[in-house]
Chain A
């Protein structure tokens, strides 16, 4: 750790976040389950495999096109469980409220969480609420933890990538990132982007139904597709090559990125997943995705080429090649 204070960058999902976790947090809490650093923990318990995960939500603004912090909190944890192949069952919700938060806003968020749990077919069975003085939190922070059951035969992990695996993505990138950025003052642009926040457990179930041998699933949240592909490359020690022109992206997101000088590969997604699938199962999984409402724009975007030095290479739109690096810093609009 090179800094003496925590910076925003440490939470942005890129290089600094990884260093914080790997160099400061994990060393204190050492254990084999944690050290796998998947988005979920897998615990074997009397013949049953449980998936267990936690996530905190501090998004600002708390209301944005397509959702709010409550919906995000439910879907985010459901998705972390889903990435482990688990059927999400029960969630907890811890609320930290800033003094002065309008009750109407809290009601809106609770309503949203209720809707999201219904859609995701989970229940929030326990919770906690704290209120802190004005200024000690930003309106509302939510932590959700979740448990789910992993069916027999399913073994998903970031460590399982193999040469020949195809890289699949379920939908267009950057929707959530742009939807949130459009709300920020000082940027003042109008785009029709809505957050793509959605529960992916059902999509995952369909994918596993079609082909149980999927190696890895990951949802590219903070840090975007670039961060996620690099995590998978690191965990499995693989070289992944991705075709830029195959990555689905909507015109709105692409244009907003051009305008602000943002890289869509670094933007957060909340309703998209990436899969590493052995070649023999790739088309089966792709079809299953395309037959699901949350995967109808799914694409095969790349392949795992070797298993030595972890790297993610992008074949560019015009046929060039370049490294797709782990994002650094917080995504900020640029003029340069």
Chain B
């Protein structure tokens, strides 16, 4: 697999780790935050934390779009699923996320028509083939996914697939990164910025973090060498007292991002405020459908949704904003496990808690 294997080379990894140790040696406590669920996963999957020197702490931020989707969205999706002529199509990630009283997986077990797809285009195809069903696609994702949702909506409109609609929970990440800095005392030394989100948005949206908060930002890819290189570049900025937005993932990210994808986004979505599970309302962080696309807007479908219920004791919000680690949650690994998730951080494959539970609990003898 070209452009993957080369970025997993163990010898190059060793060299990068040695270089990281060398730069980090003279620095005090370093706290980097990554804000992308795929980074969280990759770091755990390759065992990167334990390769880094002990003065570097890696915090996980709210980078998992599944984790930050509030219960209310799931509850609405479930209510729609229970309607007789509705088919729900969704990315696999959403199936096991708990809503207030149920999950899509449970509803599927009870007979609701819920189908997992790899692409919103697959959902559009199902809608075209089954015109007697109302197809609702759960539009969860950040800027990596939003253009795909937008392009699919445009195709639905162009090809007149009237029964296709999207329930949007799409969000944008830079406002959330800003919000994190306004809140608690995170004392961040730098942000590892999401590689594929940046493929779309480019590097400019991160400049306020540098200009207003003086926090180094490096846009990194997802293979182990990409992540190590990203951390190295961040360390070099810290060591040289610089704060800039740099691109480590140059094979996929251009400073201007993907202009065509950005135009498609603008053509379809309007900016709105959005609710982030555990963090609260963040201004300008959501993407909603405009009036011109109301025929394809599933949020306008009339349905009764049950009242929202959040699990007490669940500190997903604090975990998502990097203020606590999963190990500091009372429910972690006791009531809350991947099999019995209490909050989204545990159920999503990329959730911070799920990753910690599945990959991180190595007991030394």
Report which A residues bind B (CB closer than 8 A): 2, 5-9, 15-16, 19, 186-189, 239, 245, 251, 254-255, 258, 260-261, 306, 308-309, 311, 313-323, 325, 328-329, 332-336
Contacts and interface: CB of A to CB of B under 8 A. Distances in A.
Contacts, number: 140
B46 A316 contact: yes
Contacts of A9: 105, 339
Question: What 3 A-B pairs have minimum CB-CB distances, sorted nearest first?
Answer: A320-B47, A332-B92, A328-B338
Interface residues of B, number: 57
A328 B365 contact: no
24 contacts: A2-B339, A8-B105, A15-B337, A19-B339, A186-B115, A186-B117, A186-B118, A186-B126, A251-B1, A306-B365, A309-B363, A311-B362, A318-B9, A319-B10, A320-B51, A322-B45, A322-B359, A325-B359, A329-B96, A329-B339, A332-B92, A332-B116, A333-B117, A335-B91
B305 interface: no
B6 interface: no
A16 B46 CA distance: 26
A258 B4 contact: yes
Interface in B6-25: 8-10, 13-14
Contacts of B340: 2
Nearest to B348: A336
Interface in B289-307: none
A239 B365 contact: yes
Interface in B350-365: 350, 357-363, 365
B338 A336 contact: no
Contact of A317 (B8, B89, B116, B350): B8
Interface in B93-123: 93, 95-96, 105-106, 108-110, 115-118, 122
A323 B1 contact: no
A88 B300 CA distance: 61
Given A9-B339, A308-B365, A320-B224, 9 more contacts: A7-B106, A15-B339, A313-B362, A315-B47, A319-B10, A320-B47, A323-B360, A332-B116, A336-B93
B95 A332 contact: yes
Residue among A255, A311, A332 with max Cβ neighbours from chain B (10 Å)? A332
B288 interface: no
B141 interface: yes
B163 interface: no
Nearest to B341: A328
B359 A317 contact: no
A325 B46 contact: no
Contacts of A314: 47
Residue among B9, B116, B350 with max Cβ neighbours from chain A (10 Å)? B116
B182 interface: no
A241 to B, nearest CB: 10
Contact of A16 (B38, B93, B339): B339
B255 to A, nearest CB: 25
A136 B123 CA distance: 27
A249 to B, nearest CB: 11
B92 A325 contact: no
Contacts of A325: 338, 357-359
Contacts of A6: 109
A321 B350 contact: no
A16 B338 CA distance: 10
A309 B365 CA distance: 9
A260 B77 CA distance: 23
Contact of A319 (B51, B96, B115): B51
B86 interface: no
B72 to A, nearest CB: 20
A334 B92 contact: yes
B56 to A, nearest CB: 14
Contacts of A332: 92-93, 95, 116
Contacts of A189: 118
Contacts of B338: 15, 325, 328-329
A261 B360 CA distance: 20
Given A318-B13, A334-B92, A323 B362 contact: yes
A274 to B, nearest CB: 20
A15 to B, nearest CB: 5
Nearest to B17: A319
A258 B93 CA distance: 15
Given A2-B340, A9-B105, A336-B37, A323 B359 contact: yes
A274 B249 CA distance: 39
B8 A187 contact: no
Given A186-B116, A334-B92, A320 B350 contact: no
Nearest to B92: A332
A281 B362 CA distance: 29
A203 B48 CA distance: 38
B234 interface: no
B275 interface: no
A321 B359 CA distance: 9
Nearest to B63: A336
Contacts of B105: 7-9, 329
Residue among B64, B93, B358 with max Cβ neighbours from chain A (10 Å)? B358
Contacts of B66: 336
B77 to A, nearest CB: 16
A318 B47 CA distance: 8
Contacts of A254: 1
Contacts of B348: 336
A213 B100 CA distance: 54
Residue among B105, B115, B357 with max Cβ neighbours from chain A (10 Å)? B105
Contact of A335 (B10, B41, B145, B365): B145
A322 B339 contact: no
A229 to B, nearest CB: 14
A245 B170 CA distance: 37
B349 interface: yes
A318 B51 CA distance: 10
A261 B349 contact: yes
B93 to A, nearest CB: 5
B230 interface: no
